[in-house]
Amino acid sequence: MKEYFLWRAAVPRAGTGDSGADFLWGGRAPNPLKSPEVPKIRAGWGSDRQQPRLVRGQAAKAERRENKTPFPSARSRQSEFGAKLLINFFVCLFFGSDSRRCSRAKGAAGSSGLSSQLFTDGITNKLVACYRDEAMGDALLVRVYGRRTELLVDRETELRNFQVLRAHGCAPDLYCAFQNGLCYQFLPGTALGPEHVRDPHIFRLVAREMARVHAIHANGSLPRPILWQKLHKYLSLVKTELSPKVSNPSLPQDVPGPAALQQELAWMQETLSQLGSPVVLCHNDLLCKNIIYDSARERVRFIDYEYTGYNYQAFDIGNHFNEFAGVKEVDYGLYPSKEMQLQWLHSYLQAYKELTQGHPGDTQVSEEELETLYVQVNKFSLASHFLWACWGLIQDKYSTIDFNFLRYAKLRFKQYFKMKPVVAALQVPK
């Protein structure tokens, strides 16, 4: 993976004649995510400096206090314009364009026959594609992290997991990382929706791809699940930074108070950790749009590895089943029936056993194995609701993305309490 250190440079704001917008510009140097020796930089809008420069030491701290909003800012027009400029720079690097043309600071995307597309489905980051081929076969993606998402995501871990997945053929090429984003290969295909993941042909592909990710070994170590650490961290943020909102007496059923949430987390940790679900490398955020279906090759690929890490097998599957309901228009009537789940789980177990036991085409899945995984998955689906409900409360405070995070958090809490007595009654076969 090539690594670049990005400076700040002033460029004209979109639709204006002034130079008041600071923009990330590029040069070869160690990745600041990996080297504490590399001076830290601030990315944002608001200064009139005309030359690229590094911000070091105390000056960096002062500037971070001065402007705490990371690129992109809430000013979406500026953010989109800046992202297009950044893509032009990367295209010069990776498409092998004429060096003299690429050395010029282009004023707008498209000046060298480029097209760009801003993706609006994401609710965590900003994502833009840049390409010359109309079929987007040569496209690059630049993902710029959302505001304060470092509270939710460990970016160094994300990079490591991205590289591990790529080494096993489960992720696209990662071209470079910068302080507040990534540049990587575009995967052609269709981003799935709730209507697609119910199709037996497609959900069997999804089950087998998840098995492929889960079968990646941890190099002989015994990894610990990240679920409890993540849940405790999110709940701590809710309690310390959002307590006035979550303890609002007008929201007792939609958003429980901190004490009630702490009690639920303690119950989940005691109950779910005893189910015996294996700890495997999990995606942990397999919503429909994070699955790309390539009809030409008849395969699916997973994207967006921000929450990837070792976790309970049943959590990853249960989380995916919850996502059948959608994100922007949530309908839990779309949660898969037991019959559909058993078909999905049978495909998964067959593939997982082939990959981990080394007997392709000669693996049997017993009724007991199937029923055990079904019970584990539905119990761990509660933890998924709880996690993303807390996540929604945190995003509601900090995110600049146009999405009703508070409404989403309420929906997830409501479904958690609705399903708790149902799944608590399920029993693992003896």
Give the CATH number, domain containing residue 220: 3.90.1200.10
In this structure, is residue 429 part of a structural domain? no
Q: Do residues 167 and 241 share a domain?
A: no
Interaxial angle between packed helices 405-424 and 367-398, expressed in degrees from 0 to 180 and rounded to the nearest 10: 150
For 96, the 3-state DSSP assignment is coil
Residue 409 lies inside a defined structural domain of this protein: yes
In a domain, 89, yes or no: yes
Residues 159 and 145 placed together within one structural domain of the fold:
yes
Nearest to 27 by CA among 143, 179, 185: 179
- Cα distances from 398 to residues 45, 66, 132, 165, 222, in angstroms, run 17, 17, 35, 30, 35
304 within some domain:
yes
Q: Measure the CA–CA gap between 392 and 416, rounded to whole angstroms.
A: 14
- Phi, psi (deg, nearest 5) at residue 198: -90, -10
Residues 250 and 200 in one domain: yes
H-assigned helices in 67-192: 76-94, 99-103, 155-167
Structural domains in the chain (count): 2
Of 291, 273, 277, which is closest to residue 210 (Cα–Cα)?
291
Position 367 in a domain: yes
| Torsions phi, psi for 93 (to 5 deg) | -70, -45
Measured CA to CA, the distance from residue 398 to residue 413 in angstroms comes to 20
Q: Give the end of a domain, one of 185, 210, 235.
A: 185
* Packing angle of the helix pair 227-241, 258-272 (nearest 10 deg): 180
Q: Is residue 430 part of a domain?
A: no
* Calpha distance 170→184 (Å, rounded): 14
Number of other residues whose CB lies within 10 A of the CB of residue 166: 17
Q: Pick from 160, 185, 210: which residue ends a domain?
A: 185
pLDDT at 64: 40
Distance of CA 419 to the CA centre of its chain: 25
239 and 269 both lie in a single domain: yes
pLDDT at 214: 97
Q: How many CB atoms lie within 10 A of CB 53?
A: 13
- pTM recorded for the entire structure: 0.74
Residue 244 lies in a domain: yes
- Rounded CA gap, 286 and 324, in Å? 10
Q: Buried b / exposed e across 261-292, counting CB within 10 Å, b at 16+? A: bbebbeebeeebeeeebebbbbbbbbbbbbbb
Cβ burial of 318 (10 Å; 0-12, 13-18, 19+) is buried
Give pLDDT, residue 140. Answer: 83
CA distance 374 to 365: 13
Given a contact cutoff of 8 angstroms between Cβ atoms, the answer to whether 405 and 330 are in contact is no
Alpha-carbon gap, residue 338 to 138, rounded angstroms: 42
Residues 231 and 360 grouped into a single domain = yes
* Of the residues 145, 165, 185, the one at which a domain ends: 185
- Tens digit of pLDDT per residue, the chain (430 long)? 444 333 333 233 333 333 333 333 333 333 333 433 322 323 332 223 223 333 334 444 444 444 433 333 333 444 444 455 555 555 544 444 444 444 443 444 444 566 767 765 665 667 777 777 766 667 788 888 767 767 777 888 888 999 999 999 999 998 888 777 888 888 889 999 999 999 999 999 999 999 999 999 866 677 899 999 999 999 999 888 765 555 454 343 568 888 899 999 999 999 999 999 999 999 999 999 999 999 999 999 999 999 999 999 999 999 999 999 999 899 999 999 999 999 999 999 999 999 998 777 678 999 999 999 999 999 999 999 999 999 999 988 888 778 899 999 999 999 999 999 999 999 999 8
In the chain, DSSP finds a helix count (H) and a strand count (E) of 12, 12
Residues 253 and 160 placed together within one structural domain of the fold: no
Quote the distance between the C-alpha of residue 154 and its chain's center. 11
Structure tokens at 140: 């690059």
Claim to verify: residue 258 and residue 366 sit in the same structural domain? yes
Instruction: Supply the range of the domain harboring residue 140.
Output: 4-185
Report how far apart, in Å, the C-alpha atoms of 105 and of each of 10, 388, 416 are. 11, 41, 51
Nearest to 86 by CA among 115, 108, 119: 108
Is 216 in the same domain as 274? yes
Residue 180's pLDDT is: 78
User: Does residue 53 lie within any of the structural domains?
Assistant: yes
Say if residue 209 is in the same domain as residue 358: yes
* Pair (173, 199) in one structural domain: no
Residue 91 and residue 232 share a domain: no
274 in the same domain as 129: no
Reading the block at residue 278, the tokens are: 């294996």
Phi-psi map region of 308: left, alpha, beta (phi>0 left; psi -120 to 50 alpha): beta
Q: Is 279 helix (H, G, I), strand (E, B) or coil?
A: strand
